[in-house]
Structure 1
């Protein structure tokens, strides 16, 4: 009986592994940074941005997943074959640059958070560089020695820990329910009047970064590979939609919980946020040491869960482009993963501050989004590829709305970056 129950649980988890992978990929320290910054600076007033981004993410996951269900082709291979190789190569270059910056920023945040947290149980704490080496080695060890199933299950466990931590913290530090409800109404708040911040951003750049970290082009490209490897066909469209819904609902819940924790504490006290590690030292007197520790574990789990797919992004993109099996034991791919992993030591070694880089890179992600939407509109309407499953009028209307949304948000992100550069 116990064996049967255990088998059923494993089967249930396996059904949602693609969605769990997307969740781990999406909710990283970049997302935590953007949501915590939004909550600390503007309370829950930007919750509408997260909601719209999650709805658009579900539509995009569905569109890219359905293309693969029908044709059996992954995204970059389709771009190369049916649009132009230059488009696929552009995605490889742009996403690799973005991921390289993310690896540096993510490990910088993990190391800094771990250092601050370690001070609570070790005098002086453990230096950030040692934490960066430890977590980089952990990701490499699991990649180097683990099979795909081990890799996916390790990711699922880390994602579960992350989700539990942020949801628990929400109930400890949540703002008034009326503020949460008001946040669902679209509005652009005035520039935050919190305590002076050396890296303050206006609402436009922050909105762009929130969209960039949620409605992420790499997410949709990788989705097609996960759908193909799961062996799903058009007969599995219901499973594909359920899996996508699970991932997106959890994205919204976790991201909203992070924003609420900062809104219920830092925003309520009029305290700005320069860097994610401040959440630990500032939360402790406001919400207690338990809340601070829970948030620390959540951020670390978020960073590690996103670091797995980050270091694998380039090899996976190349396999997608070449339409070749994802054999990560090949020496050339192991060298790539090792090189990208070593970027995680840059921030601790040079004592850089990753918050600006992460916010700006997330805003840059939005610049890639219109092309991502335009490509699936084109492919999804090709009768020779999709047959009876080509985009309906409603699907095209929704995708076109996302395309316009991406253009507007991209413009806002560009304006926000200009404002930040000009001081």
Structure 2
């Protein structure tokens, strides 16, 4: 039985030193996850929801955060409890998973590379229109490429921590400043319900908050921090919780800001001009300095998402290349794990950066972001389905680390919600 492999005396002894460490001692991968998951999509979706419905859809953010936590916890639990990466798990389910992943990650890398670079360019162009939007987009893409290519994970994590600090202070701080102004919003806008015509926005909030492929990349970030066995599962759960608390606070803050300035104003939020109008309203109330601070917060959210993806998604592709070379799909591969120096890692990093620049010539920034969002809806049901299969396997996972009924019910619900979201966004 494979199960016995994980409960030998040697294995138990090996993990004892890690067990003695406090689960509060190291928190890091969750910061990277939060910074990557909170990007331009969350920013736009939350502001528009606040503009249209006040804060009556805040509950949708909470549900979205809970869904993404459950998926991330599943990826982390699989990695730590079995010693296998999520790609090794997918491979054990059959070649169909490898085919789906290859097609998806290739398309995602091309479209997301253009979409997130464009989002960074949009925000920077709003502050400094000294060169074209496409030039700002290319500059951000190349900067992210250079940071990941020449840097190491610890340097990357420090940069991410600084960016998320800027984002948190600027955006959450702005929401706190204007919180008293919500008293001017009609009472019915503060009731937590589903207002008429809000179902698409609800699904968008649930689906958009917290990222997509970053969830699968989380298993590689925890390995970079040398969380290598099941003794780290409590730390992983706390770390992922912190990530989604930050994500939820950011999204709610954006909803509050959108509700305060746009609810009932008739001002549309879309594209470059919408962003300028929105920041102009903020500046009229709090001055140009406060406007600049909020804009910097927007930029930090977008750029941290870019470099987080530039770091995380190539891990998945490099591991894909490694895993398809395995002759036995059920065998845990004890070879050296993938790293930032792996040729396949660097090849996909280049794929994210350079071919996607060709899409910028179409000058459709909002369309790129929407296309990326629709692609994201196609990955999350796949992740939920495969986690259901892997974490209920008596052959692969010890009883203490298999799914309970809450996990299973949540994953089934996630599949239903995101399949519906994918159909809606496709239409």
TM-score (norm 2): 0.81
Q: Which residue of 2 aligns with 1:326?
A: 338
Decide whether aligned partners of structure 1 residues 269 and 287 sit closer, same or farther in structure 2, where only a CA change above 3 A counts.
farther
Q: Which residue of 1 aligns with 2:12?
A: none
Q: Which residue of 2 aligns with 1:230?
A: 225
Does the 8 A contact of 1:54 with 1:215 survive in 2? yes
Shift of 1:73: 0.8
Shift of 1:268: 4.3
Does the 8 A contact of 1:128 with 1:348 survive in 2? no
Aligned counterparts, 1:211-250, within 5 A: 211-214=206-209, 216-232=211-227, 233-250=229-246
Shift of 1:413: 4.8
- 1:254-274 per-position Cα deviation (integer Å, ceiling 9, x unaligned): 111111111110124232212
Aligned counterparts, 1:198-347, within 5 A: 203-214=198-209, 216-232=211-227, 233-275=229-271, 277-278=275-276, 279-321=278-320, 322-323=322-323, 325-343=337-355, 345-346=357-358
Q: Which residue of 1 aligns with 2:80?
A: 69
Structure 1 runs not aligned, ≥5 long: 1-10, 120-124, 192-202, 419-423
| 1:40 corresponds to 2:56 | no
Structure 2 runs not aligned, ≥5 long: 1-21, 324-335
Q: Which residue of 2 aligns with 1:3?
A: none
Decide whether aligned partners of structure 1 residues 349 and 367 sit closer, same or farther in structure 2, where only a CA change above 3 A counts.
closer
| 1:167 corresponds to 2:172 | yes
Does the 8 A contact of 1:166 with 1:257 survive in 2? yes
| 1:21 corresponds to 2:46 | no
Does the 8 A contact of 2:220 with 2:312 survive in 1? no
User: RMSD of the TM alignment (CA)?
Assistant: 2.9
Shift of 1:253: 0.4
Shift of 1:160: 1.4
Q: Which residue of 2 aligns with 1:410?
A: 419
Decide whether aligned partners of structure 1 residues 261 and 347 sit closer, same or farther in structure 2, where only a CA change above 3 A counts.
farther
Quick one: which of 155, 162, 177 aligns to 1:150? Answer: 155
Decide whether aligned partners of structure 1 residues 347 and 108 sit closer, same or farther in structure 2, where only a CA change above 3 A counts.
farther
Supply the distance in 2 between the matched residues of 1:188 and 1:149 (Cα, whole angstroms): 43
| 1:187 corresponds to 2:193 | yes
Decide whether aligned partners of structure 1 residues 12 and 84 sit closer, same or farther in structure 2, where only a CA change above 3 A counts.
closer
Supply the distance in 2 between the matched residues of 1:19 and 1:332 (Cα, whole angstroms): 25
**4+ long deviations beyond 6 Å:** 11-14, 177-185
Supply the distance in 2 between the matched residues of 1:248 and 1:362 (Cα, whole angstroms): 19
Aligned counterparts, 1:95-134, within 5 A: 95-118=105-128, 125-134=130-139
Shift of 1:144: 2.4
Does the 8 A contact of 1:208 with 1:362 survive in 2? no
Decide whether aligned partners of structure 1 residues 315 and 106 sit closer, same or farther in structure 2, where only a CA change above 3 A counts.
closer
Supply the distance in 2 between the matched residues of 1:241 and 1:375 (Cα, whole angstroms): 20
- 1:188-237 per-position Cα deviation (integer Å, ceiling 9, x unaligned): 3334xxxxxxxxxxx34433332232254413311222233333222122
Quick one: which of 176, 181, 184 aligns to 2:182? Answer: 176
Shift of 1:60: 2.1
Supply the distance in 2 between the matched residues of 1:190 and 1:304 (Cα, whole angstroms): 35
Does the 8 A contact of 1:76 with 1:317 survive in 2? yes
Does the 8 A contact of 1:44 with 1:263 survive in 2? yes
Supply the distance in 1 between the matched residues of 2:186 and 2:377 (Cα, whole angstroms): 26
Shift of 1:405: 4.0
Does the 8 A contact of 2:72 with 2:218 survive in 1? yes
Aligned length: 388
Shift of 1:330: 4.2
TM-score (norm 1): 0.82
Shift of 1:169: 1.5
Q: Which residue of 2 aligns with 1:138?
A: 143
Does the 8 A contact of 1:162 with 1:299 survive in 2? yes
Secondary structure, aligned partner of 1:383:
coil
